[in-house]
Amino acid sequence: MEKYDVVIIGAGVSGSAVARELSRYQAKICVVEKEEDVCCGTSKANSAIVHAGYDAEPGTLKAKLNVRGNEMMEKLSEELDFPFRRNGSLVLCLNKKDYEGLEKLYHKGIANGVKGLRILNREEVLKMESNVSENVYAALYAPTGGIVCPFLMNIAFAENAEVNGTEFRLDTEVIEIKKNDSSWIIKTNKGEMETECIVNAAGVYADVFHNMVSSHSIHITPRRGDYCLLDKSAGKHVSRTVFSLPGKFGKGVLVTPTVHGNLLVGPTAIDIENREGTNTTRAGLDEVIQKANLSVRNIPFRQVITSFAGLRAHEDGDDFVIGEAEGAEGFFDCAGIESPGLTSAPAIGEMVAELIRDKMKLKEKEDFVSRRKGILEPSTLSKEQRNALIKENPAYGSIVCRCEMITEGEILDAIHRPLGAKSLDGVKRRTRAGMGRCQAGFCSPKTMEILARELKKDKSEITKTGGSSKVILGIDKDVY
């Protein structure tokens, strides 16, 4: 049975952020993930927003870690080479009777330490964003709000942790956790492992594992959010993230540009029981469209290229659950990580790593690698640089995905870098091949061919997203 100092359950953005921060220390660390890749749960389907921090109740972990995570984002994006931009955000007040709610939001933000907050009048808002509703009465402006690529952020944390010695066990599902004297025994579908410390970063399943070991139970409700993603031709319809005033179920439907130039609209907030229920519904998407149109005029919904849904892990206490679980020494929760979880992830990683460092008296490494370089994008190079690159490696001159102009060289890098892609979606999350207007209609066969060749597999073994999601169900050899 393999023994570790720390085992982290879940390779989403929180688990990967914890892994990256813990990899600074002298410890044997393992991340266990039931899917075939990192960033396969909540972290892959969200609003991609870096929240300023005015929405959370002062004094909560959400408030504290949101603001801290926002402050960390710029340096981290530079160190780990993932896209991030401070585009600012607006919360719209559409009539005078709701102005008091806007003022309350402003005062929350001030109490939470959010910098630069201002309440704008109608003329100031329309001057800033000409496409917002003509009914706008006022808006809360937060210049520290931003946008990020959640896939590349999550992958960057994981790759950097792996480079610093963290082991990742993918396609490995945790079945049972039990205490054995001073250590924990984790039973998985691929055998057992022993560890002194566990980090429970299992998303919508975090309550399941917590309740296996603690007498103080928690309860997580999967909250589904439907989204529409529009083509890049619609990406400049707004330049800032536009919110409506928040309500009981969260921050409402937003309209925002993405770091890659698209326009994103959503989400809904629908409580469900199915922890894998990421299907969109007609009613959900209709709600997204109807509510978005109240905030922003003339959204070109005819340019929607895809829709998707993600799940938020809403804990009954309406706050993050972080720390050593009651009656379960050495078991640290990282649970209830819903919005602003993506923004807070760097601070969550920092907080949990410090708790475990102090608990286990871990010493820092002298050779920690703090920087990571992402996949080279030839489109960012000058003509001369690109020609030189293609001369050195012709794969960078072969376009595979025409919508996003992704080359074979980028796909090869995605496959062969730390924790490399093994599926179509793995390639898509790392390179955007298949994420454009045709939604992989053109590039999938070529991407499958490259994956099969590089992984030394038959094309019939290549999946969309791991498991049983095979694209080719069988080949009639008599025909071919």
Q: Which residues are catalytic?
A: 51
Q: Rounded to whole angstroms, what are the CA distances from 51 to 230, 242, 340?
A: 21, 12, 7
Closest to 403 measured CA to CA, from 284, 229, 205:
229
Closest to 255 measured CA to CA, from 271, 269, 239, 270:
239
Task: Please give the structure tokens belonging to residue 375.
Answer: 């996949």
Residues 6+ apart with CB under 8 A from 283: none
Would you give the distance in Å from CA 95 to the centre of its chain? 34
- Paired sense of beta strands 241-244 and 89-93, if any: parallel
H or E segment to which residue 314 belongs: strand 304-315
Cis link prior to 340 (omega < 30° from 0)?
Answer: yes
* DSSP calls for 122-186: HHHHHHH-TTB-TT--EEEEETT-EEE-HHHHHHHHHHHHHHTT-EEE-S--EEEEEEETTEEEE
Residues 6+ apart with CB under 8 A from 21: 349, 350, 352, 353, 354
Task: Please give the structure tokens belonging to residue 266.
Answer: 């959503």
